[in-house]
Structure 1
Amino acid sequence: MNENTIPLSRNSVADRIAQRALASRGAHYATEVRSLLDAALEVMRNRGTASRPRVADIVAAAGLSNEAFYRHFRSKDALVAALMEDGAERLCGYIAHQMAKESTPQGRVRRWVEGVLSQAIDEDTAATTLAVMWNAGTVAEGFLAGPPTAAGLLATLLREPYAELGSVAPDLDASLAAHATVGRLADHLWRRERPTAADVDHITRFLLRTVDQEVGP
């Protein structure tokens, strides 16, 4: 049989080498993105609400180039939106872990409120959260506008306890509760006020009362 007639295997040497190259590039790109997100967070935290960083400031802090930045983000706004999503996902992971410690839906709602407001308790965390939210104020895709929003991601954690509590519209109730609580968090951050246990109690009662007083169709 002529060697030119031998069919190529779908798992040929060429395919395997190409896949290894893609995997290596993917890992490298993931490292670049993480470096840009971490650098942006550091620069924003250092500047607070005094000034918004430029792309040049972020890539300098990351030790990368403009080419690397625009390989992953079409604009600084896109990076800020990613930063908001990244922070919200981390916060959701923490809150979900805390909620899992409770056996009742009321207890899980309270843990959720505590987790959201915890962003305004520690001074460094509060300063960082405020700086990111302030930078996101002009973003067309992120905290205030396009999905996924911080409140939208946090709302997913409330759907199940709200359903257990008898909500006739758990998705909508969870969304309204999340937006209201994140708005209250923003108030604490801007005023540099730490939430108290009384604040947690009041918000928890409010969120539970909205379900208790629902009237079915």
Structure 2
Amino acid sequence: MKENTIPASRSDIAERIAQRALASREAQYASEVRALLDAARVVMRRCGTASRPRVADIVTAAGLSNEVFYRHFRSKDALVAAIMEDGAEHLCGYITHQMAKETTPEGKVRRWVEGVLSQAIDEETAATTLAVMWNAQSVGEGFLAGPPTAAGMLAGLLEGPYGQLGSRDAALDASLAAHATVGRLAEYLWRRSPPTRADVDHLTRFCLRTVTPQEAYE
């Protein structure tokens, strides 16, 4: 046996130890990122639309350090973008669950509208969403700009129902409806006025009318 040859058993042990170390570090990093995201939301909600939090404020609230922050985010803008994406993913998950309760495309569209506007109903959720949107607009990562947008992610949930309703271009129709609805959500948040049942009904009818049927292209 050559001197630099490692027996298979020893090689396997080395690989397992390395994998455990990597897994441990991955879990640690994921925990750090989650702590920063959650702390940033809390600090942003506290600041509202009066001031923007500093990195120092966020890492203090998270119980971490500047070094940890910059290990995961190149800037505060990058953190805000991550918060937007994280929030959109959670909202999409919630709405998907609600839409699954319906059997008709019309019912699914209504559940979608209710899910989007739910961000303006609970006082704490509304305050957090507004604060995050306000911070995001300052760095070009708002609901209506910067990929991936929350409106774009939400639009994807409407494509199936719109296809069932006969849309010639479900993706385009869904995108138009999503941007209009999210824009309306922003108005409710800024006015600190939650949507009424009549508002939900009106927006649902609007979203259903957005569908452009096949014959309109013929």
TM range (shorter): over 0.9
- 1:130 alignment counterpart: 130
- 2:113 alignment counterpart: 113
Query: 1:1-217 alignment to 2 at 5 Å?
Result: 1=1, 4-5=4-5, 8=8, 12-141=12-141, 143-211=143-211, 215-217=216-218
Conserved? CA contact 1:142–1:148, under 8 Å = no
Q: Which moved more, 1:167-176 or 1:26-35?
A: 167-176
Conserved? CA contact 2:140–2:146, under 8 Å = yes
**Could you tell me how far apart the structure 2 residues matched to 1:16 and 1:23 are?**
10
Conserved? CA contact 1:181–1:203, under 8 Å = yes
Conserved? CA contact 2:168–2:212, under 8 Å = no
**Could you tell me how far apart the structure 2 residues matched to 1:106 and 1:186 are?**
24
TM-score (ref. length: structure 2):
0.94
Gaps in structure 2 of 5+ consecutive residues? none
**Could you tell me how far apart the structure 2 residues matched to 1:28 and 1:5 are?**
34
After superposition, the CA RMSD in angstroms is 1.7
Conserved? CA contact 2:117–2:195, under 8 Å = yes
Conserved? CA contact 1:162–1:211, under 8 Å = yes
How big is the shift at 1:145? 2.5
1:96-148 CA-to-partner distances (Å, cap 9, x unmatched) read 11100110000000000001011111111111110110010112345343211
How big is the shift at 1:213? 6.0
Matched position secondary structure for 1:172: helix
Conserved? CA contact 1:85–1:142, under 8 Å = no
Amino acid at match of 1:197: R
Gaps in structure 1 of 5+ consecutive residues? none
Give the number of aligned pairs. 217
Matched position secondary structure for 1:166: coil
Amino acid at match of 1:216: Y
Matched position secondary structure for 1:136: helix
How big is the shift at 1:2? 5.2
How big is the shift at 1:7? 5.5
